[in-house]
Amino acid sequence: MAKLGFKELGIAFNAGVLSPFQKDALRELANIGSGHAVTSLSEMLGGKLVHINVPRVELLRLEDAKKTMRGDKIAAGIFFKLRGEISGYMQILFPERSALTLVDVLMGKAVGETQNINSELERSALNEVGNILASAFCDALSEFLGVSVVPSPPSFAFDFVGAIVESAILAVATDRIILFECDFSEEENDIHGYILLFPSLDGLRKMLALLEAKINGV
């Protein structure tokens, strides 16, 4: 039986590395997603201006993703199952410091006031932001690739980054994650986050084929 690798996916995809074109296409996708999210986030924050910059898009192995996001650190993770033509999971991750700042901003507190995420109020505030981002990115995926992708209701964890990320990848049985690194700025506060996409094998194949078609102008 042949080993099922990226070569067998039948698309230009070398050693699990994104081509510059595929990267550009994903970056454009991220820009569309951010554009959608900015409006909703600004509304949620009572009209304050929010900017989202996506400086980095990568296709990573689990081990490398853990290293990039510092697996031993604490983060808030908001987790979604994806339904529709591209199956898999999506995760929004805010490193501890950013998660606490975000809660302060959302609840109108002075930055530094929130010290932990343990009440339902804090969790649901972060869930809501996660929801907005996941929906915006799924809409962007749908719009950009012409497929339908819808996120499930969110599920939340405040724990080690490694543990949060690992859980999703095992569920899809691939070892590749599409990582969008995001910088959010809300007036004077900078918040750092990650949007992670864990497509199923079939989902990844479909996505890359659609991206490829997009690049070739089909």
Partner 1 sequence: MVSKPKERDVGIGEVRVSHNPEVLRIVGLGSCVAVALYDPIARVGGLAHVMLPRRRVSIFCDANGGVDGRFAEDAVRLLLDEMLKAGAEKGRVVAKVAGGACMFPETMTVSIGEENVRAVKEALRNMGVRLIAEDTGGNHGRTVILDTCTGKMTVKTMHGDKIL
Contact residues toward partner 1 (CB under 8 A) are 1-6, 62-63, 66, 71-72, 74, 77, 79-81, 89, 152-153, 155-168, 170-171, 173-176, 201, 204
Rounded least distance, CB 97 to partner 1, Å: 16
Rounded least distance, CB 91 to partner 1, Å: 9
Rounded least distance, CB 187 to partner 1, Å: 31
Structure tokens at 114: 């929130």
Instruction: Round the CA-based radius of gyration of the chain to a whole number and report it.
Output: 17
**Closer residue to partner 1, CB minimum distance, 3 or 217:** 3
Structure tokens at 58: 């990568």
152: enclosing H helix or E strand:
none
Dist CA 43 CA 57 (whole Å):
27
Task: Kindly report the number of other CB atoms within 10 A of residue 191's CB atom.
Answer: 21
- Nearest alpha carbon to residue 156 among 73, 77, 88: 77
Rounded least distance, CB 201 to partner 1, Å: 5
**Closer residue to partner 1, CB minimum distance, 162 or 193:** 162
**Closer residue to partner 1, CB minimum distance, 135 or 189:** 135
In sequence order, what are the beta bridge partners of 53?
A: 183
**Closer residue to partner 1, CB minimum distance, 100 or 161:** 161
DSSP SS3 for 171: helix
